[in-house]
Structure 1
Amino acid sequence: MTQIPTSLGLNTLEQSQVARIAGTTITLGGLVSAAVILILALAASWLVTRALRRVRERADRTRQAVYLLERLTAYGIIVVGVMAAISAAGVNLSSLTVFAGALGIGVGLGLQGVVKEFVSGLFLIFDRMVSVGDYIEIEDIGIRGAIMEIGPRATRVRTNDNVNVLVPNSRLIEQPVTNWTLKGDTRRIHVPFSVAYGSDRGKVRDAVLSAARASPFTLPETETRKSQVWLVAFGDKGLSFELLVWPTREAVKRPAAMHAAYTWLIADALDAAGVEVPVSQTDIRLRAAFGMEGEDALQRLGYGVRPATGGFPQRSAPTANDAADDVMAAAREEMSEGEPDPPADRQGG
């Protein structure tokens, strides 16, 4: 059996013409080399990204800088790998006409959206108006959650129900987006509640403020950030109040649980203070019946007389608050993951 020299086999592979592009011969050996280079570039990009991601998870105040380095390094390795693969395939990169023509054909065939989302992702990374870890809300589509990743095509947002939503990068640039934790700050929230007419407004204020200040997810008060209770309206059923409070950054990221927790605290505080909350009721004023008036007429009709003083049973101890437990569990989880703590003057007590 006649053996073909290995060098002859390689030369034959390299000289196997596949196509000609702009006067450049594309060989089978060049395509194989290009494929190997692309695979190596993708593998290197994946390894570097994974390593930097582990560094970012352990970092605290440099997390955003590490994420920026992670994205740029991954994109850079892929771009260099693509250019090297094209060169290994035998395409002359100095021919800008060919490269520009191929790019124009690709965009014309439907890559406009891909290029748009990729550029938008770069803007999001460099602009940093929304960053990984921020809690955002997109009102028109009803999405609210934390940004977990800014990819080349879409941004991954994880809701508090652990649902991952992919939002196109351009959507975060072209449409209004509410960032509740921009620059790591907090915000003031309004928690509405009502009490029955005739309640002592001073007692209501003191009871609710005491409960809010004792909450572990309420920030200590400063000159510019104080917990307050406002009387906002005379409602159909009672007096309408609002609790204004500054929660911790971890609580802000769970708005539904936070509102529910404060509402539960208010209910416990009002019960302990003996303050009646309004209920739906209709009062019928009976002027006369069977020649009788008022309570005598009601008794004649078979209705008992309403007690002079009413209200709900008072509780001396607060009840179990599942929403508060949910907020505190989220705070402990973020601290265990290396989330940067808020400044010392804003930590929850």
Structure 2
Amino acid sequence: MLDISFSSIMAVLRYPLVDLGKGPVTLASIMLGLGVIFASLYLAKLLKQNVKNLNRGRYALTPSSIYTLERISHYLVMIVGVLVGISVMGVDFGKLALIVSALSVGIGFGLQAIVSNFVSGLIILLERSLKVGDFVQLDSGVTGVVSEIRVRATVITTAENSEVIVPNAEFVNGKVTNFTHTDNFCRHRIPFGVAYGTDKALMTQCVLDAALAQEMTLSDTKEHQPQVVMKSFGDSSLDFELLVWTKPEYSARPSLVRGVYLSAIDDAFRDANISVPFPQRDLHFITDRRAPGS
């Protein structure tokens, strides 16, 4: 029968495996270091959940501030926990730095993009140029709502409910149009055309009345009143645009907004007998009047 005593177990756990500068690394120190790391991961997760409680009470924070504080505190606790865990294992950070610097030449190019995206993510969180819930458009043409800012990439949810994973460096180095950076109020441009000879005053009043009748229209101040502006003389029509402000919940739904206002304008034109033109072409037939055989 195998007889394993407590002293023999402790001897195995304390048996020196390697010396990395802070004394011998043993199974016990490895287990203790891993325990510290796992404890820090649990603490980071717990802290992340409890930070959400800060949006209550007298000093409530905005959702974007809560998200930023939640992410930064999560990363900070994880990094500190991992460093403490490695130190507990018996690793000397001085020698570790030498090893990392020696390997950095070989792996630097491979990690360059990862480090760039990680630093860019921290810049986004601290600078708050981009927040969860913002409606953005990238140079690549991707348009949608920012749903999550991760360590390496940011998740954008499009109008079709598809999620686009965009590296954080693209937001820092590229051009990004943020329609709701300062506030959630957004002005939409609704193009339409009428036939030549249309009474412009009547047409303008019909369009403004149709816009003001919509529940999504924002008209609480003079600056937010809808407007109709003429854009150009088209091939078959006089081209106009309806400039209309909408309530915050419609800022990230441009397709829906455009469809609602175009439908309302079409109904208003039908009631006022205003013609919406369609492309027309005049064909001129030239008859050859020459005599046969000439």
TM-score bucket (shorter structure): 0.7 to 0.9
- Are the counterparts in 2 of residues 186 and 248 from structure 1 also a CA contact under 8 Å? yes
- Are the counterparts in 2 of residues 189 and 246 from structure 1 also a CA contact under 8 Å? yes
Gaps of 5+ in 1: 287-349
Paired residue for 2:115? 115
Q: Note the 1:63-82 alignment, pairs <5 A.
A: 63-82=63-82
Gaps of 5+ in 2: 286-294
- Summarize the Cα distance change of 1:106–1:220 in structure 2 as closer, same or farther, 3 Å threshold: farther
Deviation track 1:62-98 (CA, whole Å, cap 9, x = no partner) reads 21221122112211221121112112211234x3xx2
Paired residue for 1:241? 240
The equivalent position to 2:101 in structure 1, one of 83, 100, 104, is 104
- Are the counterparts in 1 of residues 185 and 247 from structure 2 also a CA contact under 8 Å? yes
How many residues in Structure 1 have an aligned counterpart in Structure 2? 281
What is the TM-score normalised by the length of structure 2?
Answer: 0.86
How far did 1:270 drift? 0.9
Distance in 2 (CA, whole Å) between partners of 1:152 and 1:232 is: 45
Paired residue for 2:128? 128
Range 68-77 or range 22-31, more displaced: 22-31
- Summarize the Cα distance change of 1:10–1:204 in structure 2 as closer, same or farther, 3 Å threshold: same
Paired residue for 1:85? 85
Paired residue for 1:277? 276
Deviation track 1:82-132 (CA, whole Å, cap 9, x = no partner) reads 112112211234x3xx24324434644132222221111111011011111
- Summarize the Cα distance change of 1:175–1:5 in structure 2 as closer, same or farther, 3 Å threshold: same
Q: Which amino acid aligns with 1:43?
A: Y
Secondary structure of 2:246's counterpart equals coil
Paired residue for 2:292? none
Q: Note the 1:35-184 alignment, pairs <5 A.
A: 35-52=34-51, 62-93=62-93, 95=94, 98-105=95-102, 107-108=104-105, 109=107, 110-138=110-138, 140-184=139-183
Paired residue for 2:187? 188
List structure 1 segments (4+ residues) > 6 angstroms apart after TM superposition: 54-60
Distance in 2 (CA, whole Å) between partners of 1:116 and 1:56 is: 32
- Are the counterparts in 1 of residues 22 and 91 from structure 2 also a CA contact under 8 Å? no
Q: Percent identity, aligned pairs only? A: 33
- Summarize the Cα distance change of 1:42–1:204 in structure 2 as closer, same or farther, 3 Å threshold: same
- Summarize the Cα distance change of 1:105–1:116 in structure 2 as closer, same or farther, 3 Å threshold: farther
Distance in 1 (CA, whole Å) between partners of 2:56 and 2:168 is: 23
Deviation track 1:269-307 (CA, whole Å, cap 9, x = no partner) reads 111211111022345689xxxxxxxxxxxxxxxxxxxxx
Distance in 1 (CA, whole Å) between partners of 2:72 and 2:129 is: 18
Q: Which amino acid aligns with 1:101?
A: L
Secondary structure of 1:120's counterpart equals helix
- Are the counterparts in 1 of residues 55 and 61 from structure 2 also a CA contact under 8 Å? no
- Are the counterparts in 2 of residues 221 and 227 from structure 1 also a CA contact under 8 Å? no
- Summarize the Cα distance change of 1:284–1:122 in structure 2 as closer, same or farther, 3 Å threshold: closer
Paired residue for 2:291? none
- Are the counterparts in 2 of residues 149 and 155 from structure 1 also a CA contact under 8 Å? yes
Distance in 1 (CA, whole Å) between partners of 2:56 and 2:178 is: 22
Is 2:232 the partner of 1:230? no
Secondary structure of 1:141's counterpart equals coil
Q: Which amino acid aligns with 2:208?
A: L
What is the TM-score normalised by the length of structure 1?
Answer: 0.73
RMSD, matched Cα: 2.6
Distance in 1 (CA, whole Å) between partners of 2:158 and 2:235 is: 36
Distance in 1 (CA, whole Å) between partners of 2:140 and 2:56 is: 30
- Summarize the Cα distance change of 1:256–1:105 in structure 2 as closer, same or farther, 3 Å threshold: farther
How far did 1:266 drift? 1.2
- Summarize the Cα distance change of 1:219–1:160 in structure 2 as closer, same or farther, 3 Å threshold: same
Secondary structure of 2:81's counterpart equals helix
Deviation track 1:191-235 (CA, whole Å, cap 9, x = no partner) reads 110111222111110000001111111111523332111122221
Paired residue for 1:208? 207
